[in-house]
Structure 1
Amino acid sequence: MNPILLLDYSGVAVFAATGALAASRKEIDIIGFLFLAGVTGVGGGTLRDMILGIPVFWVVNPDYVFICAAVAIGVYFTAHRMESRYVLLLWLDAIGLAAFSVMGAAKGLVVTGSAPVAIIMGVLTATFGGILRDLLAGEPSVLLRPEIYVTSALAGAATFTLLDLAALPSPFAAMIAVAVAFLVRGGALKYGWSFPPYKSRPGRRPEDIR
């Protein structure tokens, strides 16, 4: 199997698992599991393909839908065995984010040949599914957590794009970029890496503006 396609399948499966885990935390029925797993698994890639103006990947290849369904059913019957489902959700999300940041960048390069567009597509593909999952499940958004999140997707997408432009074979570029994205996000989860937050300041009074 093509390594990039395998990476795509893996990213969909891992993100689908995070959606199903979110469903388990809300104690909803199997249809809810299937829905959240599906939305999370294919949400980012759907947005990417719509922006790029190409056929949506899971419409062209329904295997992605079957992967999401299989993962949702598997989690439905096993989630109760997991000690901390939210911690597992965060780490699986980190794996999915790393994989999708590369897959999104790869597709962006193939379709447009533009490095900036490829990097943006990588970030969108990696983050949008998780945003939808948290919004629909009523979970605290990963974007609002204090540690680095989007930056890790940016690191993975930029690394893959630069290595690809340097003519490194795609499988090696993908492996290196996935590792970079996961190490950044994993380090943020383990050590709390973050950027300095914005500090609110009083606004200027109208009479002070000249």
Structure 2
Amino acid sequence: MDINFTTIIEVLGTFAFAISGIRFASGKQIDWFGAYIIGLVTAIGGGTARDLLLDITPFWMQDGKYFVTTGFALLATLLFKNQVFKWSSTLFLFDSVGLGLFTIVGISKSLDADLPFWVCIIMGTITGTLGGVVRDILLNEVPLLFRKDIYALGCIAGGVVYFICYSFKLPVGLTELMAAVTIIVIRVIALKFHIHLPVLGSISPKAEKAEDKDR
């Protein structure tokens, strides 16, 4: 993969995820520094876990552009906060773009480490989703990954598309673009048509009593 293309994807993904994190924190009475930290954690959390699993130095320790990009995301949010906070779809849009881009980065870096493709898909999913999990935990929310939204499944679908394109030896740039677009489109379609996994319901009082008797 061309290193300049990697840089573009990582910067765009960092900006998108940082915006989503800052936007998500906006209703939690958090100050500017706190919002910056939430945005940064959202952007680098998944990639950090991936690099630790790959036994390499986390990417943000080798390049400060992620901190700078998050700073620009905070500045953009402050300057255009009326537009960013007014649009109900803003958080979803930036989160979806970040999810797609970072999933591709995770798959690509795992391929460079000569891992089996199914492991690469898992690594891509971790890269795309774990930052959002940490964000939600810090903000005392149920992580989006564990709710009914099509989230991790979109990453897996994008990974499968990546694998198919890779198997047919399509150009790397086209492969990554198709996989990222797949993830973003799946999330958009799922939202538009209210497609989601069934929610695990709570145990009914009768079933709970029966379970207590069995014990």
Partner of 1:17: 19
Deviation by residue 1:75-118 (Cα, 9 ceiling, x = unmatched): 13322333545531122111111111111111111113320111
Which of 15, 33, 36 lines up with 1:34 in the alignment?
36
Cα distance in structure 2, aligned partners of 1:125 and 1:15 = 12
Once the 2 structures are TM-superposed, how far is the Cα of residue 34 of structure 1 from its aligned partner?
Answer: 1.2
Larger CA deviation: 43-52 vs 108-117? 108-117
- Supply the AA of the counterpart residue of 1:62: G
- CA change 1:197–1:27 in 2 (3 A) is closer
* Alpha-carbon contact 2:23-2:85 (below 8 Å) kept: no
* Alpha-carbon contact 2:25-2:139 (below 8 Å) kept: yes
> Is 1:158 the counterpart of 2:155 in the alignment?
no
Partner of 1:4: 6
> Is 1:46 the counterpart of 2:44 in the alignment?
no
After TM superposition, list the pairs within 5 Å mapping 1:22-171 onto structure 2: 22-84=24-86, 87-171=89-173
- Supply the AA of the counterpart residue of 1:131: V
- Supply the AA of the counterpart residue of 1:7: I
Q: Secondary structure at the match of 2:89?
A: helix
- Supply the AA of the counterpart residue of 1:32: G
Q: Secondary structure at the match of 2:113?
A: helix
Once the 2 structures are TM-superposed, how far is the Cα of residue 157 of structure 1 from its aligned partner?
Answer: 2.1
TM-score scaled by structure 1? 0.88
Once the 2 structures are TM-superposed, how far is the Cα of residue 142 of structure 1 from its aligned partner?
Answer: 1.3
Q: Secondary structure at the match of 1:25?
A: coil
- CA change 1:13–1:102 in 2 (3 A) is same
* Alpha-carbon contact 2:162-2:178 (below 8 Å) kept: yes
TM-score scaled by structure 2? 0.87
Deviation by residue 1:24-75 (Cα, 9 ceiling, x = unmatched): 2223211112111111111111111011111111111111111112212221
* Alpha-carbon contact 1:45-1:125 (below 8 Å) kept: yes
* Alpha-carbon contact 2:157-2:183 (below 8 Å) kept: yes
CA RMSD after TM alignment: 2.3
- Supply the AA of the counterpart residue of 1:168: L
Cα distance in structure 1, aligned partners of 2:141 and 2:202 = 26
- Supply the AA of the counterpart residue of 2:49: L
Cα distance in structure 2, aligned partners of 1:132 and 1:53 = 21
- CA change 1:131–1:171 in 2 (3 A) is same
Which of 155, 164, 172 lines up with 2:174 in the alignment?
172
Cα distance in structure 1, aligned partners of 2:135 and 2:211 = 41
Cα distance in structure 2, aligned partners of 1:117 and 1:36 = 28
Q: Give me the identity figure in percent.
A: 29
> Structure 2 regions of 5+ residues with no counterpart?
none
- CA change 1:81–1:194 in 2 (3 A) is closer
> Structure 1 regions of 5+ residues with no counterpart?
none
How many residues align? The count is 209
- Supply the AA of the counterpart residue of 1:14: A
* Alpha-carbon contact 1:4-1:174 (below 8 Å) kept: no
